Amino acid sequence: MASMNFTPGEEPLEWFREDIQVPSHTKALLETNPAQAIAYLIIMGTVVCLGCFGNASIIATCILDKTLRCMAGTEYLVNLAISDLCVACVANPMCIVGK
């Protein structure tokens, strides 16, 4: 292990990085199992596309259809679709990138 004496301009955690060994389970999925990674990307990509399209169509339908605008619960439905649209467009792609 390196000494813990730091010189000015040296990164404080440099001594710690010498001893770090990355476990095999933290490696990228594409490196460890390419077939599973491709299947995961296809499934998650489909979920993201369907989620965005479905929620956008619900919002558009509730806005454009006059009978739906007058019904009780439409605000709740639009609010739910907006929140789910945020998850489908922001959180799910981050989940894909994180793998």
Q: pLDDT tens-digit profile of 33-75?
A: 888 888 888 999 999 999 999 999 999 999 999 888 888 888 9
Cβ–Cβ < 8 Å for 48, 88: yes
HEC per residue, 53-99: HHHHHHHHHHHHCHHHHHCCCHHHHHHHHHHHHHHHHHHHHHHHHHC
d(CA 90, CA 43): 16
> Is residue 90, in this structure, part of any structural domain at all?
yes
Which structural domain range is residue 59 located in? 51-99
> Is residue 60, in this structure, part of any structural domain at all?
yes
> Is residue 70, in this structure, part of any structural domain at all?
yes
> Is residue 27, in this structure, part of any structural domain at all?
no
Q: pLDDT tens-digit profile of 80-97?
A: 999 999 999 988 888 877
